[in-house]
Structure 1
Amino acid sequence: MRCTLKTAGAVRTVAGAQFPAFLEFLNPSKGDIMGSSRTLYDPSRRLAKWCLTAALVGALVACSQMPAGHSTSVAEGPAGLSFYTPPSPLPAGRHGDLIWARTLTGDAAMPAAGHNWLVLYRSTDTAGQPIAVSGTVAVPAGTPPEGGWPVISWTHGTTGIADVCAPSRNGPDYPDKSYVDGINPVLNQWVQKGYAVLKTDYQGLGTPGVHPYLDGRSEARSATDIVLAARELDPALSRDWIVMGHSQGGQAAIYTSEIGTAYGHGLDLKGAVGISPASYLAEQVALGLKQTTAQANAFFPLIMVGMAASAPGVQVDKLLTPKGRELIGVVNQGCLGAFSKPGGWGSYKNDQVMNAKADFKPLEAALTSLSATQNVRPTVPLLVLQAKNDQIVYSQFTNLMVQRFKDLGVDLHYVEYTDIPNFPAVNVHRATVNRSLPDAVKWVEQHLPPRQ
């Protein structure tokens, strides 16, 4: 087992061991204190031996406290919300490198896991620049199977753009608790079946910068890089993985099915599962804007601000009325539910918040370039799961996307559910995750069986 001594300051590696810079005089290459060519005064020799003994004892204690299978060279992240603020500049490396981690407890953790981690890792933004992304890692309990725990990278549905909406921050006061708490029991079942479940927060959600909502490639990079980071954290995780997500995350999963194999160096993506995946977004926005007296869509503020984060040509202020500009600031403070509250965005008509005379072509172009799920070219088997009566992600658009993929020869299996009761729209949309679980389990176990 390799153990790294992490201290405030530089470290030196000597014959596989690392020493803080202040113990540099212990470096055997510069004269070993235990029989060195360098002459040391006896008191210094005793002090050096004492320092070395203390350092080694401390290292052994630290190593003994690490969970089994954990890579002991990982830096422990700071407590509290400081965890989400990465070092500046980022440590040198490549996408998928782990920055730091710490043990996770509470509502964001998976009860069935042998260990839960909160992680911060390197990824890549739309411009190709290195960024830090947060997420969680749940490793099954017990002895890892031969080949390691198979991995599911979960891509979550819409929670919001504000940092408080990051699912890894789930706790008693988490704003979108009904959604995340409704999904977690399903994910916990995957852990019970012997899959490590990784949950990215996505770029800019919890971490610095604006979350580029519905930027498919950004989401896909976050979903792939957390697998690389988790394997650095725990070598008992397999290189074989499935990406699976719902709504926004369904879109993310399909984008990952295109880039995950090439982008995930050393990983083997076995398939993708898209549950109620968002598609044809530019077309839906254009249709919605024509309905000037219709109720304002609570997703529109997130779409506009998210696209502006990736496409500077989208000037949000110009797309809004004075009332719209007054309300749009909520995206940086609250989560999705805040837009549906009385007095919020959803309380107004489109023509009250959207500037009918504005040029929406840059927004539509950004959606076509960054969010056109139907134009993705999956390179791995794909499972799509959809409720026919979903009023958030309409089955008509999913059907069009599925047919397009079939025409391209994609290895695809599609299930459309007609038996989900007509709950309020958001509940039908979310209920699809639970309703589709048996089909998801059957398909995933065919493409990435749990190992015994």
Structure 2
Amino acid sequence: MRHLLAAVLLAILSAFSLPASAQQSRYLISADPIADTPPGVQAWRVQYWTTNGNGARFAVTGIVAAPREAIPPRPRRVIVWTHGAWGVAEKCAPSLSPKFFAATAGIDAVRSGYVVVAPDYIGLANPTMHPFLVGADTAQSVLDGVRAAREIPGAAAGSRFAVWGESQGGHAALWTAISARSYAPDLTLIGTAAAAPPTDLAANLREGSDKNARALLLSFTLHSWSTLYGFSLDPIVNRTNQGIVRRLAQNNCVNFDKKPKLGTILGILTIVRATKNKDIARIEPFGSFARANSIDAARVPGPLLIAQSSNDTIVAPAVTRKFAKAVCRRGTQLRWIDMTGDHGASARESAQETIGWITSRFDGNPPPNDCRRI
């Protein structure tokens, strides 16, 4: 009996000697403070565990930001920022960029008292292929990012959260809404906001009016899906152009501040010509996979906000509006924001109204419904 009591006492003392994060962490691997942050913001570069849609486990990364002030008596409200397309190469992770804070519209919410969780997703800043526009894989990495943030004592993140994303991140936000209840019942989603979201993937890759942007995004998609799932590119491009697709995806991160290199321009023009009459909706297995990872309006819970510019040349406005009408037919409460700027400004242009809408959801106010005017 004496030996048993000694063993129990040793176990208790050992537990108390561990850091709080080591005692409590189930998802969080590490949280390293970031020195250079915007005024009033504290942030951590995090690594945490997630699983993909097939249950495989991955260590992924991201950034968690919170107000630089005393920990409040109640847990802070959480917004998950789901980023737009930065690329599919490991080096393209937003958390690796020195411009992360300037480029991340969601950081504005920290000034309103929110914890902002900004996942990189699987395959960015970690050595596996990024599942570009793959719904379940992305959603689960987003939800596990919230869980990881809750294990950072200084963040004081609560279990109630909203998700807000732009472009690829709009697709991620909608998939997060679809997956939240089943994958993360310990969390409570209070609202979903999507700026310029790709909803019908094949239609978006076909109907965006900027053919050069379409070619680059198609290259990201083809490289990601063929690498992860073994889909042959032969029905879409010949062997020479398959090499160009790979190089475009492996060598390029999206950068709105710099003009692309000559080799990138020539590669994009080649893919524009090679895919001019190709519609992945009609080419298997790409068509079926695109449909499986598009957004089913019937599965997206409300309340919902969608912001879309009528001048967007990358995410076709008509495709987004068609999706919004389908959501409304399901009786989902939808806030619709019309904009006139370019695609890259979608979240910035709608940020003030979106953060206000999210705050109203946390406050428990009845959500507005714009379905009659869409």
Distance in 1, matches of 2:232 and 2:71, equals 50
TM-score (norm 2): 0.83
Identify the residue that residue 307 of structure 2 maps to in structure 1: 385
Q: Please, which runs of 5 or more residues in structure 1 have no aligned partner?
A: 1-11, 20-55, 64-70, 76-92, 172-176, 421-427
More helix by percentage = 2
Identify the residue that residue 160 of structure 1 maps to in structure 2: 87
| TM superposition shift of 1:214 | 0.4
Distance in 2, matches of 1:446 and 1:368, equals 33
| TM superposition shift of 1:309 | 4.7
Out of 362, 382, 406, the residue aligned to residue 285 of structure 2 is: 362
Matched, 1:239 2:169: no
Out of 254, 257, 261, the residue aligned to residue 336 of structure 1 is: 254
Out of 405, 424, 427, the residue aligned to residue 327 of structure 2 is: 405
Distance in 1, matches of 2:301 and 2:40, equals 32
Distance in 2, matches of 1:225 and 1:392, equals 29
Matched, 1:207 2:145: no
Matched, 1:73 2:6: no
Matched, 1:139 2:88: no
CA RMSD of aligned residues (A): 3.1
Distance in 1, matches of 2:279 and 2:137, equals 31
Distance in 2, matches of 1:322 and 1:181, equals 40
Distance in 2, matches of 1:413 and 1:262, equals 25
Aligned 8 A contact 1:149 1:237 in 2 = yes
Aligned ranges 1:43-442 → 2 under 5 Å: 71-73=20-22, 97-106=27-36, 109-113=37-41, 115-171=42-98, 177=99, 180=100, 182-184=102-104, 186-234=105-153, 236-285=156-205, 297-312=215-230, 314-316=231-233, 319-330=236-247, 331-337=249-255, 340-344=260-264, 345-348=267-270, 350-352=272-274, 360-370=283-293, 372-375=294-297, 377-418=299-340, 420=341, 428-442=342-356
Question: Percent of pairs identical after alignment?
Answer: 26
Decide whether aligned partners of structure 1 residues 347 and 381 sit closer, same or farther in structure 2, where only a CA change above 3 A counts. Answer: same
Which amino acid letter does the alignment assign opposite residue 103 of structure 1?
P
Which amino acid letter does the alignment assign opposite residue 259 of structure 1?
S
Larger radius of gyration: 1
| TM superposition shift of 1:285 | 3.8
Aligned 8 A contact 2:38 2:101 in 1 = no
| TM superposition shift of 1:197 | 0.7
Distance in 1, matches of 2:137 and 2:356, equals 29
Distance in 2, matches of 1:329 and 1:13, equals 58
Identify the residue that residue 79 of structure 1 maps to in structure 2: none
> 1:203 is paired with a residue of what secondary structure?
coil
Count residues in correspondence: 348
Aligned 8 A contact 2:28 2:47 in 1 = yes
Aligned 8 A contact 2:129 2:228 in 1 = no
